[in-house]
Structure 1
């Protein structure tokens, strides 16, 4: 694959430029936020309100020393609360204007979550090879999220693993830096504000108009890029925290 990709240097350069400059148009203010959330719901992503950062690295929740400020759902019932209902999302967005939102994975979609540099490399290769890539979100704190179809619930439950298995250390040798969010997990959706004093946030790099692909069509490129990323001793501490 690498040889084939190397023959497309011109195309690779154009894709690199596109990735560096690409940002979907997002309306300013509360209206833009609500429109993006409703678009996510219309694309089939079930949403629920989440905490938001306060004064830098503090969290809006009442937990002292919250370990994931601005990154967790407001309710412990987030999995059953998550919905694509337009009226409910409008109420949440308007009554909680500062709240971030999460989407529950494993029902309609999964998310492959990788370090930003590895994700950019994999995305270039996938696009150059003509592979269908769905929506992709980018966070200013160094992660890239590939939204895919869900693996679903197989007839034989033993053939399915919960998301918790993705974050045990022994899996890092096989999939260094990659987290597969499936049943029992969630991710923030844009527009989400991240902790810090420098205005970090999440953005859509590829919008929700792109159909969700089968995760297995992306997995090899993502794991290869993550292995290269880890092998070059780059920020392996970015292994994501269990939600």
Structure 2
């Protein structure tokens, strides 16, 4: 845990200027180790943009998702668990965030942080294993689960009203289900701003070789927690627990 604390301090110092934001060799190695651990758990990774001040390192003027998107349009084919490739990316791009492509070996159930905390308490009380859990930007909690898969027969694909893709993020303010064609930032990552909430960090880190939970095991408690959270908000339309089409 000491290593993650040191890395978190480095992430807050980065600020977007300079090759590595004042990071030491130990900080950079800690970052690489965390990325390799995620890849070792089966999460395919690809480089992502990173914040420059309150903007984005990409060339897009007025980027709507600074630091949150892949560098390459070919991220789906680029994403890999190969440790040598990930080490090359990490060493060659010391500022880069990384995304993990969902729908191959894992999915991600993505909820508001208060709902995620409520659900975690319920899971712990009931003895339900959650698998890896991350906090992204201080407002979203990510639950990494097994995937529904990519069947050869498309008729066997089970569509879900909660399926979330990068271009539909705003349509899913409550619970989002990242599966095929989507991605999430993987820790360690940083979003614009200097507050601690700008970090993407593990709450429960991945363990290589561990079996991920089935998504349906977590779905009902997460949905219930989102409903409670939505009911506590003054404007429930913006935090609907279940997306309306």
Q: TM-score range by the shorter chain?
A: 0.7 to 0.9
What TM-score do you get using the length of structure 1 for normalisation?
0.80
Q: 2:226 maps to what in 1?
A: 226
Gaps (5+ residues) in structure 1? 1-22
What TM-score do you get using the length of structure 2 for normalisation?
0.79
How much does 1:198 deviate?
Answer: 2.4
Alignment counterpart, residue 161 of structure 1, candidates 159, 166, 169: 159
In 2: Cα distance, 1:145 partner to 1:93 partner: 23
Q: 1:216 maps to what in 2?
A: 216
User: Does the 8 A contact of 2:163 with 2:178 survive in 1?
Assistant: no
User: Does the 8 A contact of 2:112 with 2:226 survive in 1?
Assistant: yes
Gaps (5+ residues) in structure 2? 8-26, 241-245
How much does 1:116 deviate?
Answer: 0.0
How much does 1:232 deviate?
Answer: 1.5
Change (3 A) 1:223 1:187: same
Q: 2:146 maps to what in 1?
A: 149
Change (3 A) 1:94 1:145: same
User: CA RMSD of the aligned region, Å?
Assistant: 2.4
In 1: Cα distance, 2:95 partner to 2:161 partner: 28
How much does 1:156 deviate?
Answer: 4.5
User: Does the 8 A contact of 2:136 with 2:185 survive in 1?
Assistant: no
User: Does the 8 A contact of 1:135 with 1:208 survive in 2?
Assistant: yes
In 1: Cα distance, 2:76 partner to 2:119 partner: 30
Q: 1:112 maps to what in 2?
A: 109
User: Does the 8 A contact of 1:163 with 1:183 survive in 2?
Assistant: no
In 1: Cα distance, 2:81 partner to 2:212 partner: 16
User: Does the 8 A contact of 2:3 with 2:30 survive in 1?
Assistant: no
Change (3 A) 1:75 1:166: closer
User: Does the 8 A contact of 1:153 with 1:160 survive in 2?
Assistant: no
User: Does the 8 A contact of 1:138 with 1:203 survive in 2?
Assistant: yes
User: Does the 8 A contact of 1:140 with 1:202 survive in 2?
Assistant: yes
Q: 1:37 maps to what in 2?
A: 35
In 2: Cα distance, 1:235 partner to 1:38 partner: 41
